[in-house]
Structure 1
Amino acid sequence: MRLESTDKAACSQAHDSDHLVLAVINNQTQGSVVLDHRGDVVIWNNWMADWTGIAGTQAVGRNVEVLAPAITGNEYARAIKSAIELGKSVTWSLEMDPQRLDAIEAAMTRGDRLLPLTRISVVPLPVEGQQGCLLEFIEAPFNPVQLRDVAATAKSADKHVHKEAENNRFPVYLESSEVAVLSVDTSGIIREVNERLLIQTGYSYQQLIDTPVRLLFPTLSDSYDVDDYRALLASKIKQSSEGVIEAATVSGETRAFKISLFPSVSRQDLFVVLCEDVSGQSGAEDTILRQRELLATVYNQVADGIALLDGNGLIEQINPVGLAMLGKRSGQGQQMPVETIINMNDSEGRDINPCREALNRGSPCSTPESTFLLVEGKEPTHITGIATPLRDRHNQINGCVLVFRTVEESRRVSNRLSWQADHDPVTQLPNRRFLEDQLVRAIEATHTSDQVHVLLYIDLHNFSLVNDTGGRTAGDTLLRECGRLLQQVVGADHVVARIGNDEFAVLLLNCPPEEARDIAEEILAQIKSFSFPWQERRLKIGANIGAEVIDRETGSEIDVLVAAASSCANAKESGRNRLFFRQHQDERQVSGRMSQWVPKISEALEQDRFCVYYQPIVPLGNYAKEYDHYEALIRMIDESGQLVAPGKFIPAAELYGLIDDIDRWTVQHVISELGTEKWRKKSNLRISINLSGVTISNEGFKDYLLDLMDKSTVNPHQLQFEITETAAIREFDRALDLIHVLKAKGFYFSLDDFGSGLSSFGYLKDLPVDFLKIDGSFIRNMELNDVDFSMVSTINHLAHIMGIATIAECVENQTQLTMLEQMGVDYAQGFFIDVPQPMKNFMG
């Protein structure tokens, strides 16, 4: 099947796209509710169901005031009534109406959303031949830089709007102009607008006056520290095509305005912006491009199963949700007859095949009311579906699209969430969680049969170089290409998963070791010959592969992963593009290279061959520097006197139970140093020490620490302990007890690497930590990646709400540091600020 790209083809298929409308609405990242003339719900999308806790099936047909009794009689209910009866639109934004938004959210939700609403709209809308309305609830990633002075702005708007308006009125000829006009001061605040602009954007006069011009032109939102907005607008016009800039209406729609700038004749600090609406002048090619982008988004993100068939009824593609509903993996079922993959029966056991019927009749075909999807190993699922034929430019049927969904709303949502929980969002491959589940099943199969499986652990070379050279986009594209390459080599009968930043795994099911070795060597050969085109360059990568055989002697899935990772490390030591393959019978390799560190670590502990390097943690912005703060970082000294980086010996110490001894050595060393005369002179010194999960769970550590403190002159306020997010949650009860006891003595605590592990804000509420360290994986690319920026902003905001100070790790450049300061992060740490080094270098 081929999708044609002409206007004629797009128009000929328009009447077949109605069934996608509801799917698109349900997939929106904002709340959408349609009410009829009585105020009864006609549409209630998935976002609303998640936000309110009321499923769409429960909401449709019921009055909105019955669903949310707390709004009865308040101004939101009056706004809905005004939209239905008088055709009036209302919009409230976080910048102008924070109290209104909070009141509406409290009235309609359970109060468990992490992010605030930024806009609520009530818009008149024809529904079933009568006047109804559309309710919109928009929630955007929180941006504290933009919203710091929201309350002050909201309070001052009503106070000054009338006075300012009288001083900044337009001449009569501009008031009556057919061109939208607004007057803006150089700091970017709107001082006057004419009637035409209000008509074209849907805003009221009061909503725009004394508000930032970026409310109208969102493309300016990335520029906060600007002294002259006229110059900024002029530069945006020069960068755009024919002086066209995108503007946002009150309902969130995008309009294309051709902008012209002129000086104000009334005041020198103002300038006039003329806006010509050219939205309707886009060509047919832009329309088709947007339709293609929409279809691609719907296909991958909609919470329904979608199958694309060719004209012969052979499956070309099934979307991720469809694969989950059918119990299939990516690639399975392609070029197979639809009835062999999607098996449907009615309540009497008769076969149902809407796709064949749609292809034969040439018109859409729906499934009967009692239709069940039959999947091997699962109970029959009650579904509904519709098959729609697709036509080419000559009106000939060349394919079919089947959209199918479970009848129960909860199951629809569950399928999508289940797929997301088990798959990597970048490559769409299964993730580590999915792989572990498959490993458990594979191990169980070896106990009931003679099957043997093999796990390949693949570590890419030069991935970080591609990221540094081409940026995050190039890195993501490379990961997707590598995923496709692996799938092509191993086929659809085996599992390909992305389990780390640059790590993949291949689970070869029911595969003899000799065949697995051949497949692993073929993967290496393909990767070695693979070059990645990016812009004007071709980038090469490499890989190492470690293999682990799974048979009756295999323990747990964790044992398999650790052994395969160890084999991959052995392959790395042999050079690039190497394979390390071992079996249980090879006793010489069972312990692996990591075990060789055990005597080295033990000797270093006995001979006191460790040292501590320190890295500064500095305050940002106007945050007062109350003390000199450093993080203690352990280093091992080998027999030749050379430093050994922690990444080499810490994993072995954790695996073989020596990390507890290393933690105690570090604590004893830091307390001893703080007690020396040179360090005592710096009474404002505070040292952060990392504690492992093993130490947290060791009930004897508290007594050990308090005994050391009793024998020293060190003030507990000089010590801060860092525990990782994952360790704190896995050892929650013991971590909570440790924190309570030691905080009562005056020690401080920080939660390290927050966002990288289990990420539970619910646990954070119960952990009385003083600092939260935002994981460096979000900081490293925050200036390039909107998701990373939003994560840092959200974590920082929520930590401050809970009274917890924030520390940004891994700050690597001035841009990141500036963004963190503007965001309101309290402290920063990283190589851009200073590298870890002995304390004597800081004491002069």
Structure 2
Amino acid sequence: MSTSDSKHDIVPVPHEAAELFRLMAEEIEECAIFLMDPHGVITTWNRAAEVMKGYLAHEAVGQYLGILYTPEDVARDRPAHNLREAAKHGYYREETWRKKKDGSLFFAHVALTALRDDGGQLLGFSKVTLDLTPHKMLEQCLDEKEETQRIMEAAKAGTWKWQVGNGHIEFSPAFLGMLGYQEHELGQQDDAWDKLVHPDDAPGWGAQLAAVRQQCPALPLACELRLRRKDGAWRWFYMRAEWRWNERDRAFLLMGVNVDIHDRKLLSQESEALALQIQTERNRFAAILDQMPVSVVLAEVPGGAVLYQNQVSQRLFGTPPLALPSYRDYAQFQLADADGRPLPAHEHPLARAIAQDAPASAEQVLARQADGALAHFSVSAAPVHDDDGVARVAVSVMHDIEAQTRLRKLLEAEKERAQVTLKAITNGVVTTDLDGLVDSMNAAAERMTGWSEAQARGQAVGAVVELRDADGAAAPDNPIALCLRENRAVSSPGHALLLARGGRRYSVEHASAPLHLADGRPDGAVLVLHDVTEARGLLDSLSHQATHDALTGLVNRREFSVRLQRALDRNKETAEKNSALLYMDLDQFKIINDTCGHGAGDELLRQLAYAYGQHVRERDTLARIGGDEFALIVEHCTEAEAMRVADKLLETTRAFRYVCKERSFQLGVSIGLIPIDGVADSVEEALRLADHACYIAKESGRNRVLIQKSGDVEMVQRRNDMYWTTRVGDAFRADQLELFYQPIEALGGAARGLHYEILLRMKNGSAGPILPGTFLPSAERYDIMPSIDRWVLDHSLAWLEQHPQHVAELELCSINLSQRTLADPAFRQYAVARIGSSSLPPQKLCFEITETGAAANLHKTLSFINELKALGCSFALDDFGTGMASFAYLKQLPVDYVKIDGSFIQAMGCSQVDFEMVRFTNEISHLMGRRTIAEFVSNQDTLQQLKAIGVDFAQGFLLGKPRPLAPAPRA
């Protein structure tokens, strides 16, 4: 026998090999192994398959492979797909969930192999399955543990476990990390708490812990306390712990979590301190006003509601204090004019001050007091303007002039002598002889001149009373000499300067008069000096306060407007155009206020204003005109010179550093610069143009200077936005908005109900209704789209509620929502309430959202969609395909329809790329369970292509142009 023959003898025949394979497969316990014919019918089934899948061999053999798949996989035809892949490539592997006989699932590794004979003919398939469910569950547990750890780190929280019985405590790495400790540095016994808990918190914490231990396991532990970090710093934590049964130790275990609340605690303490300070200031202010002998009333502007009355006012008009809702109710004050005519509410000085935004007064009014008696008062009222020039409070002061009124009649007979006497008593009085030598001085004159009467007697009055004009120049003539020479009374034409001995100066008003004997002969003269130094200083102070910002000391907005008007007027009078206006808005200023408080923000503005002032010439005007807004008038300079000034201010801001709470802050500034060259006819227009330039600088990237001139593209765009924003507001008020509709037709051939999209138009266009593309972009930029969307929703629902027969024929009505509306919680609440109270079935409403609008705030968009879908509404993703991540968003957004962007639809007839984009979008959308709508369908060829590739719906001029919603659309 040859060698080859011997080898041939030991090879089993085919039926023996098959039997050997079957016996081997039967003995394998970890792997389910079975064979199938070429059609997927099971022919062999081992014992491991019976255990793993629950089917006995006689139950499985003869059945199609699909009995082992989940219903979802069967619906997706996965069994046939897997057989095709194995036949095509020789094998197919996957890890997935499989179904047991009892319906439960297990996670399996599956290897499917195609069996072929020597000629390549498919004989059937073998399948080997491993149960990986324990490994899958372990993987999920590890993932959940890692996710829990990330959550704890993000929440600044750490955990601990305390076996109270034996004192053993275990801190988590996160807990130790928050306090700066390494593992085992704190120890593992309960004395570790003694190292951590603040001494002031220890008694309360210990008492609560004792109570928790006494009532184990019913009572949890919850408290706020301070723990010491390793570096010695104390931090506030919220601690909560509950009892858990430890099966291993057969004892209860106290498991707790500590959350870092240090920053919140400090903020709360700071807020309480500020609230107390505010209340203290309010009480101090009320106490001051209550001590005043006059009636004081504070009212709100512009409504006029009475906010406060001091005690004098309460006694005058009765108690409790009046709480009048508006100045139209001021008649309850019961005032009358000097003739006794009752004053109507609108004639009260306080009402006039509020309505006219200007001071108002009445020299004499009669007031009906609480006891019914009439008293005489003078009344003054004025609005109180804030730093931004806006009045929010007005004040009224009533002075009791009852005594003056009575005395006026008694003193009229001795008017001249009384005037001289009063002047001599209350002012400085100097008398001279006929030669102008001092005879006498009263105490006030001694104080004002620095001379005693003894020193001054016999001295020339000009040497004792040294008068100069208000500017300090020598007076042209001595008033006593003039009075004696001309034998007449002489008074100062205005304020004069009195130089006293020792160098002190007084602002005075003076008057002199000749003295006569009984027979009429002259006997000398009298000089009366009225000290107006304090009044002059107060007037100067008030003038400065009225024209300057109280915080920075710069010119305020009102004075800046006056000076800007002068610059505009000079510019009109001369051909030389050499002035410029700079409008500056700080960038990122809100961060300082939010981080360090408004007090820090105020201090920053003071420092920055001083820094700006170092680069401003004396003849230029720098002003603070708003919260963090400054403006500068640069005069007598070219445009290039003004630009250099702007660059200096920009560089000053960049170099400026403000340190607060151990943090250094850096600001930027956006500057708008306009030459004052006739582009503006008024202060308001000049400021508006400069503000526009500043706005464009901010939009262009911040921290830069933008020169804006008449006709610039950005300025034209801004004015266009403002024009259309105003037009939209007028359209709201004048009912100039109207609703159109455009039909959407199904391409499947089956008859369907009405389906259309609601469109918005504005009336009164010169060539018909104004399309939304003209005015909606401006509305988007000026943030009034939520109001427009609310109007469209409300009017659409109202119209449908009025046409129930039309609603019966309606299948779906689509309404567009803007990006800003999707992120507006107030609109979401309104929409849910409005739809919920409507008689229209929510299933007939579909809201169209754009891909870019949804992506701008995906979290809020998903909340909006889910809440309205819960009512029954559907959603469509409009303009699909224009974004960079369209399919990624399509997976995340639970929309019902996908509207393929019209740019692809219009070009698909002449562009293979666009055709494939439409076809691919349609297939992907269908695969995700969404129906598709093609926009801008304008010809039959495009319509036939859409039908051929299976698009569900079409919309465009071919199928119907937009028409007014009334009368009702017809099917």
* TM-score band w.r.t. shorter chain: 0.3 to 0.5
Bigger relative contact order (CA 8 A; separation at least 6) = 1
